[in-house]
């Protein structure tokens, strides 16, 4: 599953999130002016999406009526690190990025 913003900017990054719990989660980004993303993520489901580097992914876990905000993750931490050529610079330093194990 993938989600792209309608207005692409220079600071867009590809992000990855996986629901490693046994509960349904609602993930959302609401801190970007004039843009909002919300998705339901089932247990074991993965999500790839593009978002501004300054976006924050909110994770709401639990039942529909009792869902609580369980985490907030800056999107730069969820960034998918792609191989880049040596003449290109990363927008965000590697030490601020999470590395995904396969």
The tens digit of pLDDT for each residue in 17-65 reads: 999 999 999 999 999 998 889 999 999 999 999 999 999 999 999 876 7
What CA–CA distance (Å, rounded) separates 61 from 59? 6
pLDDT of residue 2: 40
Does residue 6 carry a pLDDT above 60? Answer: no
Give the mean pLDDT of 54-80.
85
Lowest-pLDDT choice from 6-15, 18-27, 93-102: 93-102
Which DSSP string do the residues of 9-46 spell out, in sequence order? Answer: -TTEEEEEEE--SSS-EEEEE--STT--EEEEE-TT-E
Does residue 94 carry a pLDDT above 80? Answer: no
Lowest-pLDDT choice from 17-21, 25-29, 68-72, 97-101: 97-101
Q: 11 vs 75, 76, 102, CA distance in Å?
A: 11, 10, 26
Q: 93 vs 11, 25, 77, 79, 81, CA distance in Å?
A: 14, 29, 11, 11, 11
């Amino acid at each position: 599953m993938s989600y792209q913003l309608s207005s692409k900017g220079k600071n867009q990054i590809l992000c990855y999130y996986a629901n490693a719990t046994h509960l349904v989660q609602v993930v959302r980004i609401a801190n970007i002016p004039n843009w909002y993303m919300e998705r339901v993520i089932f247990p074991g489901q993965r999500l790839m999406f593009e978002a501004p580097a300054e976006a924050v992914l909110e994770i709401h876990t639990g039942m529909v009526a009792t869902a609580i905000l369980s985490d907030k993750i800056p999107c730069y931490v969820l960034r998918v690190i792609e191989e880049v050529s040596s003449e290109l610079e990363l927008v965000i330093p590697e030490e601020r990025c999470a590395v995904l194990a396969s």
